[in-house]
Structure 1
Amino acid sequence: MTVFDQEKKVLVLDGGFGTTLEDVFHKDISTPLWSAKPIDEDPGLIINTHLAFLRAGADIILTSTYQCAFSTFEKAGYSREDAVRLMRKSVQLAVAAKALYLADRKDVLPHQVKIALSLGPFGATLSPAQEFGGYYPPPYGPGGSKDKGTNALNDDVEEERAIEALKEFHLERLRVFKEDEEAWNAIDFIAFETVPLTREIRAIRRAVATLQSEDPMWSKPYWISAVFPEGRFPEKDDTGQHVEIAKVVKALLEHDKDQIAAYPDGIGINCTSVEFLFPLVQGISKEIIQPTREQVERRPWLVLYPNGGDVYEPTTKSWIPQRNEKSWSDSFGGVVHEVVDAEIWPGIIVGGCCKTRPHDIYELSKIVKHSICKP
């Protein structure tokens, strides 16, 4: 029994934290730390941003740690000790926001407000960022592969070496929080987000399994959400073709050769335009319900938090606005309706990613709580 298993079958996640800092609070966070920059410089801003999403109807808030890693803190001029302190402080700020929200809302119980630890992929620590491309340097990837049109490793030895390197990257960050009892106890979920490569998915599962093997009392549900720019998974094969969604689901759920790989409590998609979402969910759902698939003992939740529709240009670090006939909440709400009606998933977490603001989450929350999940 996990906190995923409860009376509510649809939980609302917050929206785009970093872009809300920029668009709503008009803050310049253009550093390697991105949304983590105010943890040290303006902690009240972090709290207020969390509060804005909670007041908009979010059940879950993500910590401002997406781009946190020792390498990004080093680029921003912080020591390793400061990096540890600030990563843990981000959890404390989420806790403070939760406490303030509960003080104002006597009708909400503490267990109804969840905190998810946000952990981006290795690509989010690179410059330019590579969560939408997955072109990683050695030993995490082939290096220089963008010019060759592939980001995949076809040599089994190199693939295994890359998976282990990525596992250590994610394990190092997990330990920062696991080794602090106060921070760890405050976390309800762990969210691995915007993952562009199947080898990184496998690495994450191994990292979580390592911690689980060390701690028999492990009780943190976790999800892995992949990214599909323009409706396609970033990873390519040796012919330059994007890998099929079946391979992504296989990496998410199937046994990992002879390695111990933790089964995720949730799988899904984030930072992908709503227009691509439904066919992608259909593809994932098809793989989930295949009668011949070797299933483990339980089915995961589905986690969906698309972006606001604008397109990110990593070289200029800017967003290109897109025109949409329907509002983001109406378009996404329709997808959520379809998913709930299909009755394939035991539960769903829905929210927003980049360029979704508290108002978007407010509108989505109304649709979810008053239409899709009405008594």
Structure 2
Amino acid sequence: MKSPLNALLEKQKVLVLDGAMATELEKAGVDTANELWSATALLAEPEKITAVHASYFAAGSQIATTNTYQANLPAFTKIGLSEASARQLIKQAVQCAQTAVKSSDDTNLLIAGSIGPYGAYLADGSEYTGAYQKTQAEYQAFHYPRMAALVAAGVDLLAFETQPNFAETQALISLLKDKFPQLTAWVSFSIKDEGHLCDGTDLIAAAQYAAKLPQISAIGVNCTALENIEPALHQLQTTVSKPLIVYPNNGDRYNPQTKKWQVNPQADSFSDLVPRWIAAGAKIIGGCCRTSPADIQEIATTVKSELAK
């Protein structure tokens, strides 16, 4: 199955993904210090989401991930919204990205529907541990409404991102196969070190499992330290034939207990790291927590320079 991602890769060789949504919304005055996190903006300030997407496209990103990482039916109904209203908010997140696409001069842009892990809904840092257990049916019941709303709104593909729990990833892959057979997705794992998911699962074993489904168009890691990327790529490059996607945090350090970041002035720059990631097999490169349009511009400029060699 040829996905929109694969089709664009044939033209571009290496694609640039966008960066953090919450960081930019916070700069724009959105209060994300709650369980909805960046999805808070969907309630009253969707135009700020559109502006963030547009800023990443202007910086050189070719893929927008929708602001639905934390947007799911249980999270919205928990604050008193109806299920119908919750579904409409998820569709609105797609419309924000679509509006940004229409305002861009680039005709080769994609929208990936973000599917964050169940641990994100728990809002206790579980996406960094994977320390939760549900049955496959429970995971699928949680994720299906969001997936259906994203698909109905017209995303180009789905992004199963920041996945720390292998059982949940298996449930998502099964759901994609059974309920959305014409749709493709990438799988990006949340890892605690270069070789293991946060729940301890071997990265290679998890990647090989995901690679078996033709609908999975790329595999990689995100929301992890910069230093984990290159060694993880070396492992993935030798074991899976799918395009590899990486989008780490910017180098700052997050404390899930205090929910605060500490700036790391010693972090390596993207201009230094991106050439090494490309050499190690990365085909889609972007940023996760704390990254900005300036970071994505640095990535895009470096990718362009590397491809021109």
TM surpasses 0.5: yes
Please give the alpha-carbon distance, in whole angstroms, between the structure 1 residues aligned to 2:90 and 2:267.
Answer: 40
Residue 231 of structure 2 aligns with which residue? 279
SS state of the match for residue 11, structure 2?
A: coil
Change (3 A) 1:8 1:71: same
Matching residue within 85, 89, 98 for 2:88: 85
SS state of the match for residue 229, structure 1?
A: strand
Residue 191 (structure 2) pairs with residue 228 (structure 1): yes
Residue 60 (structure 2) pairs with residue 64 (structure 1): no
Matching residue within 208, 230, 245 for 1:250: 208
What is the deviation of 1:27?
A: 2.7
Matching residue within 122, 138, 143 for 1:165: 138
Please give the alpha-carbon distance, in whole angstroms, between the structure 1 residues aligned to 2:276 and 2:162.
Answer: 20
Matching residue within 124, 127, 130 for 1:131: 127
Change (3 A) 1:94 1:196: same
SS state of the match for residue 131, structure 1?
A: helix
Residue 13 of structure 1 aligns with which residue? 17
Q: Which runs of 5+ in 2 are unaligned?
A: none
Which letter maps to 1:2? S
Residue 302 of structure 1 aligns with which residue? 244
Please give the alpha-carbon distance, in whole angstroms, between the structure 2 residues aligned to 1:66 and 1:262.
Answer: 24
SS state of the match for residue 289, structure 2?
A: coil
Matching residue within 189, 200, 222 for 2:157: 189
Of structures 1 and 2, the larger Rg is shown by 1
Which letter maps to 1:7? K
Number of aligned residue pairs = 305
Residue 334 of structure 1 aligns with which residue? 275
Residue 296 of structure 1 aligns with which residue? none
SS state of the match for residue 44, structure 1?
A: helix
Residue 147 of structure 1 aligns with which residue? none
Q: Is the 8 A contact 1:189 1:221 kept in 2?
A: yes
Q: Deviations over 1:243-270 (max 9, x none)?
A: 332322233234xxxxxx6641111001
Residue 169 (structure 2) pairs with residue 201 (structure 1): yes
Please give the alpha-carbon distance, in whole angstroms, between the structure 2 residues aligned to 1:134 and 1:368.
Answer: 32
Q: Is the 8 A contact 1:190 1:222 kept in 2?
A: yes
Question: Identity over aligned residues, as a percent?
Answer: 30
TM-score by length of 1: 0.76
Please give the alpha-carbon distance, in whole angstroms, between the structure 1 residues aligned to 2:272 and 2:172.
Answer: 31
What is the deviation of 1:13?
A: 0.6
What is the deviation of 1:172?
A: 2.8
Q: Deviations over 1:195-242 (max 9, x none)?
A: 0021112111101011235xxxx2x32101001134453445xxxxx3
Please give the alpha-carbon distance, in whole angstroms, between the structure 2 residues aligned to 1:235 and 1:272.
Answer: 10
Q: Is the 8 A contact 1:198 1:235 kept in 2?
A: no
Which letter maps to 1:332? L
Q: Is the 8 A contact 2:237 2:280 kept in 1?
A: no
What is the deviation of 1:350?
A: 0.8
TM-score by length of 2: 0.92
Residue 39 of structure 2 aligns with which residue? 36
Q: Deviations over 1:53-104 (max 9, x none)?
A: 0110101111111111111112333221210110001111111111122xxx
Residue 286 of structure 2 aligns with which residue? 351
Q: Is the 8 A contact 1:209 1:262 kept in 2?
A: no
Q: Is the 8 A contact 2:189 2:197 kept in 1?
A: no
Residue 103 (structure 2) pairs with residue 100 (structure 1): yes
Q: Relative to total residues, which structure has the larger strand share, 1 or 2? A: 2
Which letter maps to 1:127? A
